[in-house]
Amino acid sequence: MKVVVVGGSMAGLACAHALFSAGCKQVIVLEKARTLKSAGAGLALDSQTCQALAEWQLHQQLMDSTLPLTIDQNQATESKSKATRVLARDENFNCRAAHWSDLHKLLYDKLPRDTVHWGHEVVSFRQSGDGLGVTVEVKMAQTDQTIEIDGDLLVAADGSMSLIRKHFVPHQHRRYLGYCAWRGVFDYSKNDSPEMVASIKKVYPDLGKCLYFDLAKGSHSVFYELHGKRINWLWYVNQPEPHMQMNSLTAKVDKIAIEKMHEEASETWVPELSALIKATPEPFINVLYDREPLKQFVWGHVVLVGDAAHPTSPHGVRSTNMSIMDASVLGQSIAKWGFDKISTALAEYESIRLPVTSQQVLYSRHLGLLKQGFLFDPPHSFPWFEADADLCEQLLQRNMPFFKSHS
């Protein structure tokens, strides 16, 4: 069996590992980027995802490049007084904090060198008449020529704006969530800001093992430490949908916008968090979308995985976790049924992953609406200092459907 994976991001590389582990001998990953790049920001890996990576012989490298997250804490900040209140805290949170590019490189480095074909952009595909084969049309960046690649199975790992998903579900559009995220990673490895780092660790004493969520009226921030003396932060801001170029998820940021953001940070957050945000070079904006859950992931010998199958909001720290678990379950199903029963394997993958990811997408959406204040009347103005225990409990990650289930 020859498997063609479209997309060389996290989901695509994870699928390559899972397919090799399942006994596939011919796996090629087609990625339109020309080289491996250092990009992205922080992410949290849950215990099931870490177990899947360990099964692909990546456990030690994962431990060496991540930090433990043993605490999930949600707190509120009253912007005028800068007073804070802990809303909910889970001290049995079992995750790892990783940098996107570190994990991506880890996955890439452990694949056979001829697996990923850089500079190969898929422009179209077609299925054979009997549905048992696929042909992919690929434009090669180096020569600007177009070639065709045949395969027995096509795995669509081409992201939230998936060309392959659009082929099967042409009329479903991405859904703007009503807010954007300022993002940045502050690197203090050179120790050029010891006083500022000491100050923020004094205010947030569990930094280094805690996933902090800080809620203000109609806004919230997230921050945690990464391996290599880096602090990852996000700040969600309600606003009309920006005008986006093509399929981009990153909005253009100029000096004036950054200065305005810095002013609003001083007004909203405690001085220590505001100082961290201001000291971070080149912050950027992610415009946030998800999509309605699909009713299927498989069409013949074409299967969707990762954000191509279920684009999600970031509040349940699900995107990378779902991508890697998709790959894991796909590989396990193929190993179980064998290549001569690939249709049965794909059906099993779909039956396991579709209900899990659908519920997780919807719950992540709910968490975003809750934390950004959209669920209250009037919107964006809920006084979190007055929240009762039942409402605060909803904020914790442990309430995510299937959070502790392997599938």
Q: Are residues 145 and 214 in the same domain?
A: no
Q: Are residues 317 and 336 in the same domain?
A: yes
Is there a cis peptide before residue 401, judged by omega within 30 degrees of 0? no
165/298 same-domain check: yes
Q: How does residue 406 score in pLDDT terms, banded at 50, 70 and 90? A: very low
pLDDT at 169 (0 to 100) = 96
112 and 20 within one domain = yes
Give the confidence band of 407 by pLDDT, cuts at 50, 70, 90. very low
Same-domain check for residues 268 and 201: yes
Q: What is the pLDDT of residues 114-166, one digit of tens each?
A: 999 999 999 999 999 887 899 999 999 989 999 999 999 999 999 999 999 99
Tell whether 233 and 116 lie within a shared domain.
no
60-90 confidence digits (pLDDT tens): 999 999 999 999 999 999 999 999 999 999 9
- Lowest mean pLDDT of 20-29, 128-137, 240-249, 385-394, name the range: 240-249
CATH at 53: 3.50.50.60
Burial of residue 22 (number of CB atoms within 10 Å: 0-12, 13-18, 19+): buried
Q: Give the angle 140-40-197 at the CA atoms, nearest 5°.
A: 155
CA angle 67, 72, 76 (to 5 degrees): 125
Q: Is the pLDDT of residue 400 over 90?
A: yes
CB atoms within 10 A of CB 107: 24
Taking the chain, what is the end-to-end CA distance rounded to the nearest angstrom?
25
| Per-state percent for the chain, helix, strand, coil, to nearest 5 | 35, 30, 35
Mean pLDDT of the chain: 94
pLDDT at 348 exceeding the cut of 60: yes
Confidence of residue 395 (pLDDT cuts 50, 70, 90): very high
Q: How many residues does the chain have?
A: 407
Q: Which of 259, 290, 321 is the last residue of a domain?
A: 290
What 3-state class would DSSP assign to 59? helix
CA distance 9 to 33: 10
Angle in degrees, 0-180, between the axes of helices 10-21 and 100-109, rounded to the nearest 10: 30
Q: Which of 291, 287, 329, 314 is nearest to 169 (CA)?
A: 291
Is residue 217 situated within a structural domain? yes
Range of the domain at 313: 2-59+102-173+291-372
Residues 81, 216, single domain; the answer is: yes
Question: Residue 177: helix, strand or coil by DSSP?
Answer: strand
- Whether 258 and 362 map to the same domain: the answer is no
Query: What single DSSP character describes residue 281?
Result: S
* Rounded Cα gap, residues 234 and 43, in angstroms: 11
Q: Collapsing DSSP states into helix, strand and coil, what is residue 256?
A: helix
CA-nearest of 88, 91, 319, 317 to 209 is: 91
User: What is the pLDDT, as a whole number, of residue 379?
Assistant: 84
Domain boundary among the residues 262, 290, 318 is at 290
Report the half-sphere exposure of 42 (CA within 13 A, side-chain side): 29
The answer to the question of residue 389 being in a domain is no
Same domain, 207 and 354: no
The residue-averaged pLDDT of 9-16 equals: 98
CA max distance for the chain? 68
Query: The tokens of 160 are what?
Result: 């939230």
CATH of the domain at 83: 3.30.9.60
User: What integer pLDDT is reported at residue 245 of this predicted model?
Assistant: 67
Q: How confident is the model at residue 246 (pLDDT cuts 50, 70, 90)?
A: low
Average confidence (pLDDT) over 208-234: 96
Same domain, 81 and 148: no
Domain boundary among 275, 290, 305: 290
**How many domains are contained in the chain?**
2
What is the average per-residue pLDDT within 242-269? 86
Collapsing DSSP states into helix, strand and coil, what is residue 4? strand
- Burial category of 63 from C-beta neighbours within 10 Å (exposed 0-12, middle 13-18, buried 19 and up): middle
Residue 204 shares a structural domain with residue 75? yes
pLDDT at 66: 97
Looking at the fold, whether 156 and 273 belong to one and the same domain comes out as no
